[in-house]
Structure 1
Amino acid sequence: MNQKTAFLLTSLFVLLSLACNVTFTFGVPTPIAPPPTAVIPTATPLPLSAQVTLISQPYIETNQNPPFTITAQTPQLTGSSDPRVQAFNQRLAGLVQKEVETFRANFLQNPNPPLSGGSSLEVTYTLVHQFGEIWSLKFDFSFYSDGAAHPGLYSLTLNYDLAHNRELTLGDLFLPDSNYLEAISAYCIAELSKQPFFEGPFTEGAQPTLENYRNWNITPQGLMITFDEYQVAPYAAGPQTIIVPYTELHAMLAPSGPLADLIK
């Protein structure tokens, strides 16, 4: 075999080897990476207040000797067994029950036979506002005691943070050490002064004390203050209600307090 033939055979061998390598390389399938694990989105739980419905539980009680009638509507939340809901319901029921028991005890002391047609108590409520997890309710107690000159009416309010399971105080809405009572009182006095009956001893009922401003509710427009009969006006004028705009209180409101979402 001459050199030329040897060279040709060697070249052919190299070419065949390369061809085999190429064929081998292309003949092996390229590994396919497994698909990424699918991420199943987690449902965002509804706020607690969005899971519940407010209903009324009626109550009626009658007595013959001495005669009286008690009717009441008690607000209750349904739709959740969360302990916070149960605690709120207990607070609502307890508020109504306490007043009913007090009136029942008083009515049982009335003369028998009655001096007039007997005694009565009617308990109603209003959901003044609910936003986020905050619930603001107002209870009205309309009553007549046998032999009295006329019926009476007074109110109680309840403002509650359902998420944190606590009843709100007026001070919870404001910055520490702010003169919020003075500001609320000044606005209410200015509004009440527009009425002819607001004079003399009635002005004492609007002075800046927690007792005078015990009945307050949250509304979209401002704080609603309720003054009971005789507090700032004679009986004939009835209870008085003043809404203090948030703009009057904005500088004192706690920026991360219960009203934060309402006043943005």
Structure 2
Amino acid sequence: MSVFPKRTGAIIAASAGAALMMTSGAAGAPLHVETVSIERSTKNYDVNVHYPRTGLATVDRPMQEWATGLADEFVKQAEEDFASFGDDPPFGSYSLDLSFGVARNDETAFVVGFDEGIYTGGAHPNQDIETFNYLMPDGWRVFLPEIFDPLAVERISELAIADLKRQWGGDSLSDDDWLKSGAGPDWDNFRDFMLLPNSLVIRFPPYQVAAYAAGPQAVELPLAELKGLMRRDWRTPVPSFDCARAGTATETAICSDVVVARLDRDMSDAYRRALRYADDGKQTAVRDAQRAWINVRNACGSSLLCLTSAYDERLKALSGG
């Protein structure tokens, strides 16, 4: 069940030296992969969600929680919307489709990519991408800023933009400003990555680097082009700031815990997005709220429990929750 767009599938097949491993029992693959399905159909909505199960809890749990949470939230929203429509809904039914592809399954890493399509009215479904990269044999999930040092984001951006332009050959539904925004040197732009044995594949959902009509995009960056930019230890906490310059008990505590360090990165990304999309008159309010929250966070001192709670609350506020 290959679900990746043609370009992405070709990249993975060429880099891995084989077709995508979509079923259990692939030769040399250490994890047995089964498909779990959530299927529900009513007169108002259809749900078709598929995600992998391997039997390794550290691999399975994050994907299961994410996929089931997506389905639950969709059903809740659909039922609320159609209840408000009464007997005269403005259009047909809603739909949620989630499919996956296993891009890598070997003794070093297990990598999965998801394609999501949600239709809630309008000209076309909203499409998105999610990827999960795990280190084997224990199934430790790893993220791009934990693999590469801070200088790498500039190089990744440079290579990604060059590859996109090469693919398009001057004929695209994009422009330089769009590329700068969607593939510029910001870790959040490269969140949908897949680490293959000899290359880094980065996927972009529609609208991120080009118009919807262009479809999802993907680039392949040879790891040889990123030589010298990888961290030695991919399991070390990596927050949004340089831990070598941590000067307070709070910053030291953040740098001591992987979970809190990831929350710090998530918060930093969410804050930048909030500023980017805020109206000119509201940017000052966003900045003031962030400064006030930093004081609250710093009052936690070295308490990881307090810090986790503070980050969770700020992330909810920044996402409008």
Q: Gapped runs of 5+ residues in structure 1? A: 1-48, 79-84, 259-264
Cα distance in 2, alignment partners of residues 234 and 51 from structure 1:
39
- With over 3 angstroms needed to count, the CA separation of the structure-2 counterparts of 1:197 and 1:55, relative to structure 1, is same
Deviation, structure 1 residue 50: 6.1
Query: Which residue of the partner structure matches residue 241 of structure 1?
Result: 218
Residue 87 (structure 1) aligns with: 58
Would you say the 8 A contact 1:226–1:239 is kept in 2? yes
Is residue 197–residue 234 contact of structure 1 (8 Å, CA) maintained in 2? yes
Matched, 1:97 2:76: no
Report the number of matched residues.
199
Alignment-mate amino acid for residue 49 of structure 2: A
Q: Which has the higher helix share?
A: 2
Asked whether 1:106 is paired with 2:77, we answer yes
Alignment equivalent of 2:118, drawn from 143, 167, 183 = 143
- What's the counterpart of residue 153 of structure 2? 181
Distance of aligned partners of 1:213 and 1:52 in 2 relative to their CA distance in 1, 3 Å threshold: closer
Contact map agreement 1:88 1:162 (CA 8 A) in 2: no
The SS at the match of 2:185 is coil
* Letter of the structure 2 residue corresponding to residue 105 of structure 1: K
Q: Give, as a single letter, the amino acid of the residue that structure 1 aligns with 2:36.
A: Q
Structure 1 match to 2:101:
126
Answer whether contact 1:185 1:206 (CA < 8 A) is retained: yes
State the distance in 1 between where 2:146 and 2:50 align: 28
Structure 1 residue 199 corresponds to structure 2 residue 175: yes
The 8 Å contact of residues 69 and 120 in structure 1, kept in 2 or not, is answered as yes
* 1:230 match: 207
User: Do 2:111 and 2:194's aligned partners in 1 also have CA atoms closer than 8 Å?
Assistant: yes
- Is residue 161 of structure 1 aligned with residue 135 of structure 2? yes
Larger radius of gyration, structure 1 or 2?
Answer: 1
Looking at structure 1, the residues matched to 89 and 115 of structure 2 have their Cα atoms a distance apart, in angstroms, of 25
More deviation, 105-114/52-61: 105-114
What percent of counterpart residues are identical? 24
Give distance in 2, aligned partners of 1:51 and 1:184. Answer: 30
| Conservation of the 8 A alpha-carbon contact between 2:107 and 2:136 | no
Structure 1 distance, partners of 2:218, 2:30, is 32
Conserved? CA contact 1:135–1:162, under 8 Å: yes
Whether the 8 Å contact between 1:192 and 1:198 is mirrored in structure 2 is: no
Unaligned stretches of 5+ residues in structure 2: 1-27, 236-321
Question: Using the alignment, how far apart are the partners of 1:254 and 1:92 within structure 2?
Answer: 26
Cα RMSD (Å) of the superposition? Answer: 2.2
Q: CA deviation at 1:228?
A: 1.0
Q: Deviations over 1:1-50 (max 9, x none)?
A: xxxxxxxxxxxxxxxxxxxxxxxxxxxxxxxxxxxxxxxxxxxxxxxx96
Distance of aligned partners of 1:131 and 1:257 in 2 relative to their CA distance in 1, 3 Å threshold = farther
Conserved? CA contact 2:30–2:105, under 8 Å:
no
CA offset at residue 161 of structure 1?
A: 1.9
TM-score, normalised via structure 2 length: 0.57
| SS of aligned partner of 1:230 | coil
Selected match of 2:41 from 59, 62, 67: 62
- In structure 2, distance between residues paired with 1:250 and 1:224: 16
Instruction: Give the superposition deviation at 1:221.
Output: 3.8
CA 1:172–1:200 in 2, change beyond 3 Å: closer, same or farther? closer
